[in-house]
Amino acid sequence: MAAVDLAGLGLDEGGHLLLARALAGLAPGERLIVTGRHPALRLHLAAWCRAHGHQLAADDSLSVVRGDADDRRWARAVRAGDAAGVPEPRADQGWGLAARGALVEAGGPPLGAHWSQREHVWADIAPQLYAAAAASQWDPATAVNWPAPGDGVPADGVPADDGPADGGPGGVPDEVERAVVQLMTYLVENEQAALIIPARLLSQLHPHYREVMQLLASQAADEARHVEVFTRRALLSGGPLGTSSAGGRASLQTLLDEPDFTTASFLLSVLGEGTFLDLLRFISDHAPDQVTADVTRLAVRDEARHVAFGVSHTAHLAASDKSYLGTLRQAVERRHSALQDTAGLNAEVFDSLVVLAAGSWSPEAISRGWQAVRDLQSRMDEGRRRRLAYIGFPDDEAAELSALHTRNFM
Ligand SMILES: [Fe+2]
Ligand SMILES: [Fe+2]
């Protein structure tokens, strides 16, 4: 007959582990002889057996008859997919917060996650993108070549009330510095929208799609860093921030109001952040100082991952459901009509791009700056068309949809 010796160990000191281990090898109805020297062993054993559905024999022998409560408890348990493999097409709300691949006991609160179907959230590239995101996190304090304290301080020691007093860091001319501050002000506003949207999608996502959850979390963290570095750059010259236009905010609000996971990801990441890749590169290329070049270059690296997920996910869904291209098309058209009566891009942002690329106020320089911004807009359009074509739109439709994209870039 099976037996277990607990020596001097009490059931309240870990003895229950030896007991449960010995019982696990028995079938219901089989008997386990328990020996031990703990003074309260019989008392504790009786309570433990009651709690775990076993029976303590009525005689003096101190033996336990194995019950079947444990077996019944796990009889209805299910495996929540495969931890290492591809996630299931549908994630059960009953799996709740259980790890993918866990054996999930029946009962427990259902999750109520809105996004619980793989096709609606998945991209095969998500695990690699998350790994790349985790490996590419940068520290705003050290990754940017911030000026040492004292640089950029007004020469007469008196900060101006209106605008930077003595130009920007490293002797950036006043008016170019104002353009940089205006651009940073605009970027922060857009980054805040870009942070809120993945955070909102994340809060409604079934955690069974673990890699997408992790990727969205790192995306939100990336945007938090972008908000920080653009704010810090704007404040470097000590002046007030630039303007925020109603039209620009209206454009971002349409992104915030988009309820569908894929459409939100498409509008934000494929079209908006895709366009921002060119914008950030432009600012980096024409940066009048090292900090502006650093912060925009670092943001481009992160944005490329956000765009890659948006493009891959949207293409993944469009490949499995051809009619989805029509849904995306309608979303672009709807957004275009909603924004038709707004100014779109803040005029001061456009002008700041021209001044940035011009570098000075001579008519020749402004002419060069103007042309550079027109070239930027062409590159943005080409990029959008390329991404739309990859998702599955025919070239002519891709061109049409790209032209309907918001003037606010994001
Ligand atoms: Fe960003
Ligand atoms: Fe982003």
Per-residue pLDDT tens digits for 341-361: 888 888 999 999 999 999 999
CB 272 within 8 A of CB 303: no
Measured in Å, residue 44 CA sits from the centre of ligand 2 at 59
Q: What is the mean pLDDT of residues 179-197?
A: 98
Q: Output the pTM of the full model.
A: 0.89
| Burial per residue of 301-316, b for 16 or more beta-carbon CB atoms within 10 angstroms, e otherwise | ebbbbbbbbbbbbbbb
Per-residue pLDDT tens digits for 1-45: 899 999 999 999 999 999 999 999 999 999 999 999 999 999 999
Measured in Å, residue 219 CA sits from the centre of ligand 1 at 8
> From residue 193, how far is each of 178, 220, 231, 272 by CA, in Å?
23, 10, 15, 11
Question: What 3-state DSSP class applies to 63?
Answer: strand
**Bridge partners, 32 (sequence order):** 2, 64
Measured in Å, residue 384 CA sits from the centre of ligand 1 at 17
Measured in Å, residue 273 CA sits from the centre of ligand 2 at 6
pLDDT grade for 165, boundaries at 50, 70 and 90: very low
pLDDT grade for 197, boundaries at 50, 70 and 90: very high
> What pLDDT is attached to residue 162?
47
Q: Is the pLDDT at 395 greater than 60, yes or no?
A: yes
> What pLDDT is attached to residue 70?
84
Per-residue pLDDT tens digits for 318-338: 999 989 999 999 999 999 999
Measured in Å, residue 369 CA sits from the centre of ligand 2 at 26
Measured in Å, residue 218 CA sits from the centre of ligand 2 at 10
Measured in Å, residue 255 CA sits from the centre of ligand 2 at 13
> What pLDDT is attached to residue 126?
97
Measured in Å, residue 18 CA sits from the centre of ligand 2 at 53
Per-residue pLDDT tens digits for 114-163: 999 999 999 999 999 999 999 999 999 999 999 987 655 555 666 555 44
**CA pair distance 405, 272, nearest whole angstrom:** 8
Measured in Å, residue 386 CA sits from the centre of ligand 2 at 19
Measured in Å, residue 405 CA sits from the centre of ligand 1 at 19
Q: What is the mean pLDDT of residues 215-242?
A: 96
**CA pair distance 99, 379, nearest whole angstrom:** 44
Q: Is the pLDDT at 370 greater than 70, yes or no?
A: yes
